[in-house]
């Protein structure tokens, strides 16, 4: 990483040498850790647009080329040739598994999908109309009250157990949040089903009749899980890393990540995007919405468009657009009006200089909602599915940080613009 190059910063008669590191891929970085000690100044970067918060070996995004690599493997190849639990293994352990390793890992996850039965009472404490993300935040955080034997982060074995428990139990928690919201009984996981099929069955089966998993939906579900698995230091992953830097237990850290993902600028965009497509309704209303998104005096944004890092097509959106066509065709709803609106909206936006000049392209959230709705999910379940998928990314980054000998508690500084010191004034003198 260090290649004996440095940047020289000169100001106020000071000259500070700052090391430059070259990554495997992406921009060089300037190590500013000694800047305050030697220069008495902070850097200033709200939103961290030019700041690397850590070094990592898990995921790399080339925003200009629209490339996404997980441990070096391109996302389009993984989406086509791999499947979610194999990608989980890759993200967690760094290499694609052998046949035996994959079989053992899948068996381990499969046999940890049930929840402590006492946890089922948690769901009943919520109102029926609670947003499933509110339930996810609550129940995942509460896991630290049930699984005490995997909360000690100093014990590698407990870290491993917590990782498997979270990956295995998130589909059950998300499915039960959905069942609770529609007043149907919880469906227990089955060990003879694969990960995606199990989730679909827990969501859509009822005790009154058998449920056959549609292999088309199961493959589409697994692909959606894979495409959302990890994405460098996005807002929710950074939240998990910051929470973990204080030594908080894994369940509390993942609950913090779920809370951050919920925002409409982040993982909540898939729900917001589908609601936007429904509001547009027909292609003839698209110009009205594009005009609003371009209007400087209107903070309206096209949901599912734009990205902090991608200044080209989000490769996940490209795969999802193809998947949307396939799934809707196979389900016999290829003339889905929302898909027509989405495709026309994408076409008109990308032909508009405002979007092309600002390099605003459809992101992962633009097409995912159309597929999820066609599969029978309500919009309120879109972000929980994103959270379920991203759990392995959060956990992989959490483990990587805990293994980092340089780990320090995250504690940013600030540019203080408030009042200078002043004396208290008694109320009768104000």
Rule CB under 6 A: choose which of 190, 278, 301, 343 binds ligand SDX: 301
Rg (CA), the chain: 23
Q: Of residues 39-68, which lie at the interface with ligand SDX (CB under 6 A)?
A: 47
- N-to-C CA span, the chain: 58
**Pattern 356-395, binding to ligand SDX, x per CB under 6 A?**
--x-x--xxx------------------------------
Rule CB under 6 A: choose which of 286, 293, 324, 388 binds ligand SDX: 293
β-sheet bridge partners, residue 60: 69
The two three-digit tokens of residue 34, written as one number: 């000694």
Name the DSSP class of 389: H
Any contact of residue 308 with ligand SDX (CB under 6 A)?
A: yes
d(CA 298, CA 32): 38
- From the candidates 222, 230, 307, 314, give the one annotated as an active-site residue: 307
Q: Which stretch binds ligand SDX (CB under 6 A): 25-33, 190-198, 259-267, 400-408?
A: 259-267
Q: Of residues 218-237, which lie at the interface with ligand SDX (CB under 6 A)?
A: 231, 234
Rule CB under 6 A: choose which of 213, 302, 374, 388 binds ligand SDX: 302
Q: Which stretch binds ligand SDX (CB under 6 A): 174-182, 190-198, 263-271, 275-283?
A: 263-271
Shortest spacing between CB 238 and ligand SDX, in angstroms: 9
Helix boundaries (H) for 132-234: 132-142, 156-181, 195-204, 215-227
Q: Reduced to 3 states, what is the DSSP secondary structure of residue 351? A: helix
The two three-digit tokens of residue 279, written as one number: 């509001």
Residues 258 and 140 sit within 8 Å (Cβ to Cβ):
yes
Using a 10 angstrom Cβ sphere, with 0-12 exposed, 13-18 middle and 19 or more buried, the burial of residue 6 is middle
Shortest spacing between CB 91 and ligand SDX, in angstroms: 13
Phi (first) and psi of residue 73, to 5 degrees: -95, 130
User: Distances from the Cα of 215 to the Cαs of 66, 317, 359, in angstroms?
Assistant: 30, 22, 37
- Is 17 or 55 the residue whose CB approaches ligand SDX more closely? 55
Any contact of residue 307 with ligand SDX (CB under 6 A)?
A: yes
Phi (first) and psi of residue 322, to 5 degrees: -65, -40
Any contact of residue 303 with ligand SDX (CB under 6 A)?
A: yes
Active site residue 192: no
What angle is formed at CA 100 by the lines to CA 79 and CA 401, rounded to 5 degrees? 65
Active site residue 365: yes
Rule CB under 6 A: choose which of 304, 315, 369, 384 binds ligand SDX: 304
β-sheet bridge partners, residue 62: 67
Any contact of residue 70 with ligand SDX (CB under 6 A)?
A: no
> How many other CB atoms are found less than 10 A from the CB of residue 80?
12
Shortest spacing between CB 183 and ligand SDX, in angstroms: 31
Shortest spacing between CB 269 and ligand SDX, in angstroms: 3
Any contact of residue 315 with ligand SDX (CB under 6 A)?
A: no
**Which residues are known catalytic residues?**
307, 365
Q: Which residues bind ligand SDX (CB under 6 A)?
A: 47, 231, 234, 265-267, 269, 293, 301-309, 358, 360, 363-365
């Amino acid at each position: 990483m260090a290649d004996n190059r440095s940047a020289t910063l000169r100001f106020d008669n000071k000259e500070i040498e700052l090391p430059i590191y070259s990554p495997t891929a992406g921009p060089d970085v300037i190590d500013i850790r000694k800047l305050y000690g030697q220069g008495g100044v902070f850097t200033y970067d709200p939103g961290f647009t030019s700041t690397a918060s850590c070094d990592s070996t898990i995921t790399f995004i080339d925003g200009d080329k629209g490339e996404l690599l997980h441990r070096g493997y391109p996302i389009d190849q993984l989406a086509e040739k791999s499947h979610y639990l194999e990608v989980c293994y890759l993200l967690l352990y760094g290499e694609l598994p052998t046949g035996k390793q994959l079989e053992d890992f899948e068996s381990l996850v499969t046999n940890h999908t049930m929840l402590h039965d006492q946890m089922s009472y948690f769901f009943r404490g919520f109102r029926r109309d609670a947003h499933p993300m509110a339930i996810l935040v609550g129940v995942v955080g509460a896991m630290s009250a049930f699984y005490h034997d995997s909360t000690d982060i100093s014990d590698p074995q407990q870290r491993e157990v917590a990782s498997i428990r979270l990956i295995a139990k998130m589909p059950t928690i998300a499915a039960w949040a959905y069942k609770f919201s529609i007043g149907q009984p919880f469906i227990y996981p089955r060990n003879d089903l694969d990960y995606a099929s199990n989730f679909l069955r827990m969501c859509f089966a009822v005790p009154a009749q058998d449920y056959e998993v549609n292999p088309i939906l199961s493959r589409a579900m697994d692909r959606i899980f894979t495409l959302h698995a990890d994405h460098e230091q996005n807002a929710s992953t950074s939240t998990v890393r910051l929470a973990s830097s204080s030594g908080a237990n894994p369940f509390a850290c993942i609950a913090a990540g779920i809370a951050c993902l919920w925002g409409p600028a982040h993982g909540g965009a898939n729900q917001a995007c589908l609601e936007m497509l429904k509001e547009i309704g027909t292609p003839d209303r698209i110009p009205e919405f594009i005009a609003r998104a371009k209007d400087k005096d209107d903070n309206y944004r096209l949901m599912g468009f734009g990205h902090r890092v991608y200044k080209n097509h989000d490769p996940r959106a490209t795969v999802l657009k193809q998947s949307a066509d396939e799934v809707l065709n196979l389900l016999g709803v290829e003339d889905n009006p929302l898909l027509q609106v989405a495709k026309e909206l994408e076409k008109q936006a990308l032909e508009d200089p405002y979007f092309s000049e600002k390099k605003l392209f459809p992101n992962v959230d633009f097409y995912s909602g159309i597929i999820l709705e066609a599969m029978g999910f309500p919009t309120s379940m879109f972000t929980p599915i994103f959270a379920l998928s991203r759990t392995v990314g959060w956990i992989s980054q959490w483990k990587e940080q805990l293994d980092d000998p340089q780990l320090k508690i995250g504690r940013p500084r600030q540019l203080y613009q408030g009042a200078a010191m002043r004396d208290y004034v008694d109320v009768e003198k104000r």
